[in-house]
Structure 1
């Protein structure tokens, strides 16, 4: 069969052009640019529409093919432990840089900024732990799909996966059916991606038109400091951990995910790239059960970028208000806020509401100062989303390695470009449910997903099943 030509690179060239055009329009006609915001919102909503079915299909197929339920629990426990450890490291780095920069010194709080801070506090009211836990349970079995709640979808998918696992051979027809549904879902997602240039144009034009250049000049210190901190965390902390534990270069991994980073940069939402991250991690060589559990869970619990943002922004607000936080206050406030931030990773602007809500319940006198960073929060939101996404990609490879569910030989081929990702279907039929046995994969615990025909092989030239 003749190799299919990948035309999707034209799509991402168009996205870059749309971002540049949006910046130009935002500066040239700010009034018109602000009105274009629905274009960006509409595109992100289209992507969010697909997240629940993608998570459901991936997890059910993954768990349904695993013979031992304890293995799934081991993956989840290891992932949560890792997420807590990395959140602590991110908090510590944010504290260190924030105390060195002292970015809030010398700023004046205006009445407009005070009002903006109060508004954000109302939007980000703190959620108690019981409320958070009860919120994971959907009203009905299908309401998780209509409500767009990632953790609710995760719970339903886990229950269905374990039920199919217990059914044994009787559940194989259902697994085959869900496999076909997954292909349909990813095909629809691939179609939606062609609207990315329009969404990128609307989102960037609106934020540039609303913010302008003045806010960037006056608050450049905290913005540059935040971006620098995020870069150090990704390339030094995560990069070192990835190299030592897996032998994979963080530069190669991030280059492999380049299109997803561009999508996040243009929409300021890491959630817009969640379905593609699941597909690409499977293609890279991480087994389906590990990918299906680690990625969705990480989007609610592995908030490295958000942790750094909350740390630095809290110090910024306190110094701008003339009441710097003592070390003990810093630690107690930030531990409180990182718990309150669960679920804010993929939502544009949720970090600002979380910051205001946390301050409101812990240090109410600082809430007014949140208005000082409203103007640049959209730009900081991009760094948060990019860092959260990179953290989840690295976490998936690490968890796969530690559970012996990561095919390093396949990963080397993929990262070298010899096994390209199929951009047209986003489904890797040739990879199956787990990596090929290489000595790093625990094959005895996993049964392949039932298929009606032999699994096709990759053509090494184009990566398309033949």
Structure 2
């Protein structure tokens, strides 16, 4: 039975494809770089520019990335609009809801800045030097980076326009009297969009195989070093965030982070084994109530945190974006880094609960910025699964800490229930 479960696990096939891609790229680079067509193939489908290069490896990774691109704008519109409606409902709950939203935005923004700061200092993407994307010149990206302007960014960027429209539409929905039917329809549409994304994610092993085979075949086995460096940097950064940032937050309300982690250790093991923070949600809520947090605060903050308080995901998204900029040699100004933070502050709120949605959020960030090749996502496919556990655990701990902090500062924490 266990063997059957392993073979039905998408992560298993992605990891197997990564290993196969490394072997193909290293031992048979001619096969990895075999040209199936003489020129780059591209076409337009539903407003998305689908293109992939002439090599066999790039066809595999290119088809997958192109399909992911199709989901960027629908997911941005649906998740952001519905998210703002939920924020409006959360504010109506009262002071606790408003304080929770403020806490979520401040802490996730801190996480984004920490990710950018560490990536800027360590530079994990340095070492994979590419002069082209799928056989083409990337000078257009470096030129865009150098000639960045806010007017051009807002005027010529369809992804940002969709993002802006989604924000205004979400605010508009809060004031519509007969909004229930509209929201129900959007929720149904969101269900089917994410269902379609889930189906596309079954092609992730092919994308990982193609991306890894091309990278190793073209740039050599040494190109694995920056990927390993990124993984290590992400894990270390998330550890710093948990023990320093969240540790200080816990200390502020008279608790210790180590004691809290020991208290929820069984739930952390569940998250580690499933790579999903949702798996331990009921148990976390029970533990927080037993610890002393009121039932009303737990019932409000924990579910809301799964959409608005994704600390680990925020760290990963900011670091992955800067990693790809370093890989392609695209220098980002501080103005552009602040733009990345601004975009991720909004788009990261739709990265919860659905396999592959975080990948689409990263793709939407690159599409919005337009100075880093979206095709670089194929490179990250090789290591993304290795870091999913770190993201899930950090998100999980962050939501627990948020609940304790809000309960303490709202007088909704009964010390006599506290458990060692």
TM over 0.5: yes
**Aligned residue number for residue 343 of structure 1:** 350
Deviation at 1:218, TM superposition (A): 5.0
Pair 1:330–1:224, CA change in 2 (3 A)? same
Q: How many angstroms apart in 2 are the aligned matches of 1:356 and 1:138?
A: 31
- How many angstroms apart in 2 are the aligned matches of 1:292 and 1:363? 40
Q: CA deviation at 1:280?
A: 2.0
Distance 1:148 1:400, change over 3 A: farther
Are 2:376 and 1:369 equivalent residues in the alignment? yes
Distance 1:125 1:296, change over 3 A: farther
After superposition, give the CA deviation of every residue in 1:135-158 in whole Å (9 maximum; x if it has no partner). Answer: 997648988998998xxxxxxxxx
Deviation at 1:230, TM superposition (A): 0.4
- Whether the 8 Å CA contact 1:291–1:396 is kept in 2: the answer is yes
Cα offsets for 1:273-316 (capped at 9, x unmatched)? 22222222122211111111111111111121122112111111
Unaligned runs of 5+ in 2: 21-89, 137-157, 192-201
Q: Which moved more, 1:272-281 or 1:218-227?
A: 272-281
Task: Say if 2:328 is the partner of 1:321.
Answer: yes
Q: 1:294 aligns to what?
A: 301
**Cα distance, 1:410–1:397 mapped onto 2, change above 3 Å:** same
Q: Aligned pairs, how many?
A: 299
Q: Choose the corresponding residue for 1:129, options 167, 174, 186.
A: 167
1:252 aligned partner: 259
Report matched runs for 1:403-418 at 5 Å: 403-411=410-418, 414=419, 416=420
Q: Is the 8 A contact 2:91 2:98 kept in 1?
A: no
Q: What CA distance in whole angstroms lies between the structure 1 residues aligned with 2:277 and 2:173?
A: 22
Take 1:353 and 1:19, find their aligned partners in 2: how far apart are those partners? Answer: 26
2:74 paired with 1:74: no
Question: Deviations for 1:369-391, whole angstroms, at most 9, x for unmatched residues?
Answer: 22221111112222111111111
Per the TM alignment, residue 220 of structure 1 is displaced from its structure 2 partner at its CA by 0.8
Give the secondary-structure state (helix, strand or coil) at the position aligned to 2:94. helix
What is the TM-score of this pair, normalised by structure 2?
0.60
Structure-1 residue corresponding to 2:393: 386
Distance in 2 of aligned mates of 1:231 and 1:225: 10
Alpha-carbon deviation of 1:125? 11
Q: 1:332 to 1:19 in 2, by over 3 A?
A: same
Stretch deviating more after TM superposition (373-382 or 74-83): 373-382
Structure 1 unaligned residues grouped into runs of 5+: 1-13, 35-68, 115-121, 150-202, 417-466
1:107, distance to aligned residue in structure 2 (A) = 1.0
> Per the alignment, do residues 348 and 113 of structure 1 end up closer, same or farther by CA in structure 2, a change over 3 Å counting?
farther
Q: Is the 8 A contact 1:271 1:346 kept in 2?
A: yes
Quote how far apart the aligned CAs of 1:410 are.
1.6
**Alignment match of 1:237 (pick from 245, 266, 281):** 245
User: How much has 1:267 moved relative to structure 2?
Assistant: 2.0
Q: 1:269 to 1:113 in 2, by over 3 A?
A: farther
Q: CA RMSD in A?
A: 4.2
Structure-to-structure mapping, 1:191-206, within 5 angstroms: none
Q: Alignment partner for residue 407 of structure 2, among 400, 422, 445?
A: 400
Matches of residues 439-454 of structure 1 in structure 2 within 5 Å? none
Cα shift at 1:30 = 4.2
Q: Is the 8 A contact 2:324 2:372 kept in 1?
A: no
**CA displacement 1:171-204 (0-9 Å, x = unmatched):** xxxxxxxxxxxxxxxxxxxxxxxxxxxxxxxx9x
> Is the CA contact (8 Å cut-off) linking 2:99 and 2:406 kept in structure 1?
yes
Output aligned runs, 1:46-57, within 5 Å: none
Per the TM alignment, residue 240 of structure 1 is displaced from its structure 2 partner at its CA by: 1.7
Query: SS state of the match for residue 341, structure 1?
Result: helix
In structure 2, which of residues 303, 315, 337 is the aligned counterpart of residue 308 of structure 1? 315
On the 8 A contact 1:113/1:370 being kept in 2, the answer is: no
Please show how residues 34-73 of structure 1 align to structure 2 within 5 Å.
72-73=93-94
- Scaled by the length of structure 1, what TM-score is found? 0.55
Are residue 88 (structure 1) and residue 109 (structure 2) matched? Answer: yes
What's the secondary structure of 2:283's corresponding residue?
A: helix
Alignment of 1:269 with 2:307, yes or no, is no
- Give the secondary-structure state (helix, strand or coil) at the position aligned to 1:219: helix
**1:99 counterpart (109, 120, 132):** 120
Q: 1:130 to 1:408 in 2, by over 3 A?
A: same
2:373 matches 1:352: no
Q: Which deviations, in whole Å up to 9, do the C-alpha atoms of 1:30-56 show, x marking residues without a partner?
A: 48x99xxxxxxxxxxxxxxxxxxxxxx
